[in-house]
Amino acid sequence: SIALTRSPLNKDFRDHAEQQHIAAQQKAALQHAHAHSSGYFITQDSAFGNLILPVLPRLEA
C-alpha cells in the first residue's frame, strides 16, 4: 500500500503563491486608493487585516 502524504514542497509552493496573491492585492488596493482619493496611504501589516492604512502627511514647520 502507498501512503499518501503532503509534500513539504507542495505546501511551500502554496504558501509562496498565497503570499504573491496577497502582495498583488495590496498593490491593487494601494493603486486604487491613490487614484480615487486625495489622501495618502501606505501598505502595512495590521492586526485588523487592513491592507492599506491612511496616513497624515508631515508638515514642515
pLDDT in tens, 8-50: 778 887 888 888 887 788 888 888 888 888 778 887 777 887 7
Rounded to whole angstroms, the Cα distance separating 36 from 41 reads 11
Q: Encode pLDDT of 47-60 as tens digits.
A: 887 777 788 776 77
Rounded to whole angstroms, the Cα distance separating 19 from 33 reads 21
Q: Binning pLDDT at 50, 70 and 90, where does residue 3 land?
A: low
Residue 27 C-alpha cell reads as 498593490
- Which helix (H) or strand (E) segment is 41 a member of? strand 40-43
pLDDT recorded at residue 6 = 59
